[in-house]
Amino acid sequence: MKPLRVKDIRNLLKGELISGSETWSVNHAIYYNRHDLTKRNSLMFVSRSDDVNWNEINNKGPSLVISDKPLSELKNALSDTTVIKVKSLVQSYWKFMDNYRSLFQIPVVAITGTCGKTTTKEMIKHILSKDWNVHASISSKNEPRQSFPYLMGINGKTNAAVFELGLGNTGNIKHQCMIYQPTIGIITNIGVHHLDGCGNLEGYINAKSEIVDGIKKDGTLILNADDTNTKKVSLHSFKGKVIYFGESSKADFRASNIQFTENGMNFQINFMKKEYTAFIPGYGEHQVYNALAAIAAVNEMGMDIKEAISRLKTYKNMSRHLEFSSGKGGSTIIDDTWTNNPTSVEAALKVLDSIGVGKNVILILGDIKRLGNFEKKYHAEIGSLVAKRNIHTLITIGSKAEEIARKAMEEGSKADVHMFKDTKGVMEVLQPKLDNQAVLLIKGPMSSRSMIEFANKLKENS
């Protein structure tokens, strides 16, 4: 955070100094009881309903409390705590964030999509970090309550910021964009997810579409030219620049000649009538799309495309994102336990189509969460996708995933099918099948600690 004088904060918020000194500077900011108070020189917004531990606050002093609590409560502050009373905490909170964001005229990228958000964010960060100080959201920790601390992580040394936008319910992306005020927005794709919070697919698409109005004036929107649901996003209100990526002729950054190669993907990029040869570590056509979005973003920030492509060659693929490992009996294990939704399952199956040719293909699929009233429909659709493929063994884990197995068998899958409630007993089925001809893909939700641990056991080459 860029240090701010307490007196300047009081003047900005038109607050009343109740107690303490205002001659010092704030170096951190939190919303009390939403974020942990761990550092000195912290500002905290304290709501009327908050139970306040004045000793805790004072022990981290000097501390600054901004609140609209009654004066009688605020006078309980101790000696190393400065208190400013404001008329409306909510208005002060938003005014403070808006003012802080206005201090920085830097590129701010906001990324949403059903799949590929974290990878695209990490690619952009990797490309830029050689020359720039890049501030980014951590891993896939993208829930809205993280947005305020992430914004405060921008400081005077920051050259660019890249944030993932989490979506659990309608309004989440709008809320985050109000905080970040992105100059560049990316929609990687729109599949099916979080239907419990958005009602149905149309509601989910509308929730993702909130990014369109969230981009700053004269900003840039980067979209997947080939994604069916992204085409349903209305751009009528958008006055900025739109850049498309994909394989179709509509794409500004167009990929062609996509090929699986050792440890990743080779492909050509066509942009402005020029052709570039590229490589991205990590398998799958979806990985190429992530790379295209990242290259489009950094090019919009002024980076040469050849330089961006060169830097992507050294990108380190994220763990548990279709991560290849040697496993028991000399088998190949593909760990994709990072996230689980119909779009990412289909992408993983496409990778298996290429990698599994001539191999003994084993597929382990877990429950897909947050599908609301559409659980059976989408699990069944995955069963249909499995039935069309040359899968030798299908194992489902969890009560919801049983629908995958039932549909696959109903549609004539020749796989040896097993259904389990949990991971107990799965290894006994697998043990005789794991040899140097076996390729095993395990895919489950990141909330399933047991599936993650089971994937790790499979990688033990013994």
Does 332 have pLDDT greater than 60?
Answer: yes
Q: What percent of the chain has pLDDT over 70?
A: 100
Spatial distance between the Cα atoms of 291 and 312, rounded to a whole number of angstroms = 8
Tell me how far apart the alpha carbons of residues 416 and 36 are, in angstroms, rounded to a whole number.
50
DSSP letter for 148, please.
Answer: H
CA dist., res. 405 & res. 397, Å (int):
10
Closest CA to 294 of 138, 60, 152, 125: 125
User: How many CB atoms lie under 10 A from the CB of residue 288?
Assistant: 23
> pTM of the prediction?
0.94
At 72, list the tokens: 């009688």
12 burial type by CB count under 10 A (0-12 exposed, 13-18 middle, 19+ buried):
middle
d(CA 285, CA 279): 12
Return the structure tokens found at 346. Answer: 């289909």
**Across 413-438, average pLDDT:** 97
User: What's the mean pLDDT in 26-48?
Assistant: 97
Q: Which amino acid is at 186?
A: I
Angle (CA) 80 81 86, round 5°: 160
Q: Write the CA distances from 208 to 20, 55, 165, 205, 292, integer angstroms.
A: 45, 43, 9, 5, 20
Q: Which residues 6+ apart lie within 8 Å of 11 measured at CB? A: none
CB atoms within 10 A of CB 105: 7
Going along 32-97, which residue ranges are E strands?
42-46, 63-67, 81-85
pLDDT level of residue 75 (50, 70, 90 thresholds): very high
What span, in angstroms and rounded, lies between the C-alpha atoms of 111 and 401?
Answer: 29
Q: What is the mean pLDDT of residues 316-322?
A: 92
Contact in structure between 60 and 40 (CB atoms under 8 Å): yes
Rounded Cα distance, 417 and 225, in Å: 37
- Paired strand residues for 162: 109, 136
* DSSP 8-state class, residue 209: T
Region of 370 (left: φ > 0; alpha: ψ -120 to 50; beta: rest) is left
Q: Which tens digit of pLDDT belongs to each residue from 99-144?
A: 999 999 999 999 999 999 999 999 999 999 999 999 999 999 998 9
Q: Which of 97-101, 142-146, 170-174, 311-315 has the lowest mean pLDDT?
A: 142-146
* Helices 342-355 and 375-387, packing angle to 10 deg: 10
Does residue 412 have a pLDDT over 80? yes
pLDDT over 90 (residue 446) = no
Closest CA to 417 of 444, 386, 439, 448: 386
Average pLDDT value for residue range 195-215: 95
pLDDT at 64: 98
Contacts of 313 (CB under 8 A, 6+ apart): 279, 280, 281
Residue showing tokens 């001809």 = 437
Asked if 78 and 54 count as a contact pair (C-beta separation under 8 A), the reply is: yes
Query: Using alpha carbons only, what angle is made at residue 199 by residues 196 and 203, rounded to the nearest 5 degrees?
Result: 125
Considering the chain, what is the average pLDDT of its residues? Answer: 96
Report whether 237 contacts 213 (CB < 8 A).
yes
Question: What residue type is 234 in one-letter code?
Answer: S
Cα–Cα dist 42/25, whole Å: 9
- Average the pLDDT over 247-276 and give the result: 97
Nearest C-alpha neighbor of 207 from the set 250, 177, 173, 166: 173
| CB atoms near residue 270 (< 10 Å) | 17
Closest CA to 415 of 399, 396, 432, 400: 396
* CA R_g for the chain: 25
Is the pLDDT at 392 greater than 60? The verdict is yes
State residue 461's pLDDT score. Answer: 66
254 Cβ contact list (under 8 Å, min separation 6): 245, 246, 247, 248, 269, 270, 271
Q: Which residues contact 141 (CB under 8 A, 6 or more apart)?
A: none
**C-beta separation of 227 from 242 below 8 A:** no
C-alpha span between 132 and 146 (Å, rounded) = 23
Per-residue pLDDT band for 194 (boundaries 50, 70, 90) equals: confident
State the DSSP string of 302-360: T--HHHHHHHHTTPPPPTTSSEEEE-GGG-EEEEE-S---HHHHHHHHHHHHHHTTTSE
Q: List strand residue ranges (DSSP E) for 55-173, in order.
A: 63-67, 81-85, 108-112, 134-136, 160-164
Q: What is the total residue count of the chain? A: 462
Section 343-351 average pLDDT: 96
What is the average pLDDT across 214-227? 97
